[in-house]
Amino acid sequence: MSGFGGYKTYMRDTPDRFETEADDTLMKSMYKTYATEGETKQGLPTGHFWVTQADAEKAATEVVGTHLQLKKDDLKSYVKAQFPAAWTRYDVNEEGKIEVDRMPAFLRSICGNAEACAGLQ
């Protein structure tokens, strides 16, 4: 968690191309909200970001709710039906995580509707 610390304070270093308001808002959100940064054996950040299965499901729920305008039970049912197959297709090594850069394609596949997800970059 960025800014959290004790002995050492971790500061997330989001790539510069996603720092300003004019940049890709989806990827900015993925890095700041859903991604987990890898770490070395010494506990230092690697600069390589992943999205876990649980966080990918949260992101998918947000995107489906926003772009497909689904709410409550319809939203939960849709994500429950679409998420497992999409996750299996993207997490081919069954690591429980995928690279953050693959999330836009993953989220478009969850939506399944090119027009509704046209705003995803």
Q: Identify the CATH number of the domain in which residue 67 sits.
A: 1.10.238
Distance between first and last Cα of the chain: 25
> What pLDDT is recorded for position 89?
96
Domain count, the chain: 1
> What pLDDT is recorded for position 8?
62
Cα–Cα dist 45/37, whole Å: 6
Per-residue pLDDT tens for 38-70?
Answer: 888 988 888 899 999 999 999 999 999 988 889
Q: Is residue 3 assigned to a domain?
A: no
Q: Burial, 111: exposed, middle or buried (Cβ in 10 Å; 0-12, 13-18, 19+)?
A: buried
Residue pair 83/110 in contact (Cβ under 8 Å)? The answer is: yes
Q: Is residue 92 assigned to a domain?
A: yes
Claim: this prediction has a pTM higher than 0.75:
yes
Q: Is residue 10 assigned to a domain?
A: no
Summarize the confidence of residues 18-31 as an average pLDDT: 72
Summarize the confidence of residues 25-49 as an average pLDDT: 88
Q: Is residue 8 assigned to a domain?
A: no
Token digits of residue 118: 């046209």
Per-residue pLDDT tens for 83-106?
Answer: 999 999 999 999 999 999 999 999
Q: Is residue 38 assigned to a domain?
A: yes
> What pLDDT is recorded for position 67?
87
Cα–Cα dist 15/31, whole Å: 9
Q: Is residue 72 assigned to a domain?
A: yes
Cα–Cα dist 34/53, whole Å: 10
Q: Is residue 5 assigned to a domain?
A: no
Q: What proportion of the chain, given as a percentage, has pLDDT over 70?
A: 73
Kindly indicate the confidence band of residue 71, based on its pLDDT and cuts at 50, 70 and 90.
Answer: very high
Q: Burial, 69: exposed, middle or buried (Cβ in 10 Å; 0-12, 13-18, 19+)?
A: exposed
The residue range of the domain holding 52 is 16-111
